[in-house]
Amino acid sequence: MIRKKAAVAALAAATVVAAAGMASAAASGVFSPAQGSEAHSSPRGPKNVIFLLGDGMGTQEITAARYYQGVQNKLNVDRAKYTGFDTTWSVKPAAKAPYKPDYDPDSASTGSSWATGQKTLDERISQGPSSAIDVPGKNLKTVLEVAQKRGLKVGNVSTAEITDATPAVLASHISLRGCQGPADMTACAKETKAAGGLGSIAEQEVDHKVDVLLGGGRARFEQTITGGPYAGKTVVDQAKAKGIQYVTDADGLKSVKSGKPVLGLFNKSNMSVEWSGPAASLGKGNAPVACTENQRPSNEPSLADMTTKAIKLLENRKGFFLQVEGASIDKQDHATNACGQIGETVAFDKAIGVALDYQRSHPDTLVVVTADHGHTSQIVGEDNSGSGLPTGYSTNVTTKDGQTLTLTYGTSGFGGEGKAPVGTPPSQQHTGTVVPVWAQGPGAEAVLGTNDHTHLFKVLGG
């Protein structure tokens, strides 16, 4: 009993010390890479982990999708037992730690946060911070690499180019997120295979031999490699030479069998969006209309279908790690496309449903859902008029409840010198808000409270 009391006291003291350290870092406005990587992992480690990331899916984006579907109709994500919040800030360049915070991050730095448990610069893919964006940082171990070392199968699914920032953070290390294919390496010249580096993101993803790699970005993999043993061949050739199955449409994905890794690239660029609708305009916006659904071409699999297939291919005795990204929530938010944004969120939620259904029948599986950062859309009153009108771009859509849902976008749009925007809305910006985190399964309670995105590294098995 005495030893038990002493252990409890020691744990309480350690908790106070850790909290004080984090509070001190927050107060000073600086960050050292050693901070922020601890997490409250459950002693019951999950066999399988499914991590689902809605890019740009902040509280407003998920709420818009929830309201559009009907306020009495819950989303799949609402089935998760535990909910918390995460901060998402990145850091600014410096010669050495401590690094000052950047409050409004991009998808590369936030993705690197949960993938590695460390803060880094915007634009950077699973490399640590450095003195400048064009100075590569230290390569950081990722949760996917940890899973592979443990003998787990691993998968990576996205509706973006599979070389885009979020999927890239798991299986590549590079100083700039734009260096996606061999022909895109001008800004990363020191990191090419010809220069003795790891090569482009596409090359690295193939070299990692990820068991299931599904998404868009076929054009990146059709580029010609400039150095190393596969010089003169395309990245697709490289994949085939490594024994990876290669498919390019929904029917091809259906026919894939277990046993060999698979690379599925279903669009030259990002995959097609699910819904379309009216364009945003300044002030009050359009007369309300319903979104037009079912716009995805039949040759492109849905995110839910890719998730279902990925789980089937990854299932094995030792377990698996799978990341699934609903990427174009963010991209449609940037474009002030309300219906596109809502449709991608609904499609992402269907993938969440696939994961939670699997978890229900496989209780040794941990499902975690979050966003990488907040975004611009705001739900505002549809009956505003006169001086109460939004100052940004607005869109009005008719929900399944037969009511008007007004979304306004106001984080970009001025051309400098205080001039009001004209014509096509310019790309909107991210926001620095905390993002929700949902979880179900062994260790899910670790997401409770307000944490930082680096906390997820340990939660996910890092």
Enumerate the active-site residues: 107
Residue 221 burial (CB < 10 Å; 0-12/13-18/19+)? buried
Residue 280 burial (CB < 10 Å; 0-12/13-18/19+)? buried
- Taking alpha carbons only, the member of 390, 192, 134 closest to residue 284 is 390
| Residue 131: strand, helix, or coil | coil
Please state whether beta strands 48-54 and 365-371 pair in parallel, antiparallel, or not at all (unpaired): parallel
| Residue 423: strand, helix, or coil | coil
Q: Please give the Cα distance from 371 to 93 (Å, whole number).
A: 24
To the nearest 10°, the Cα dihedral for 207, 210, 212, 216? -50
Q: What is the DSSP track for 24-44? A: HHHHHT-B-TTTT------SS
- Ramachandran quadrant class, 240 (left: phi over 0; alpha: psi -120 to 50; beta: rest): alpha
Read off the amino acid at residue 456: L
CB 111 within 8 A of CB 325: no
Please state whether beta strands 393-398 and 404-409 pair in parallel, antiparallel, or not at all (unpaired): antiparallel
Instruction: Count other C-beta atoms under 10 Å from residue 197's C-beta.
Output: 22
Which residues face 221 on adjacent strands? Answer: none
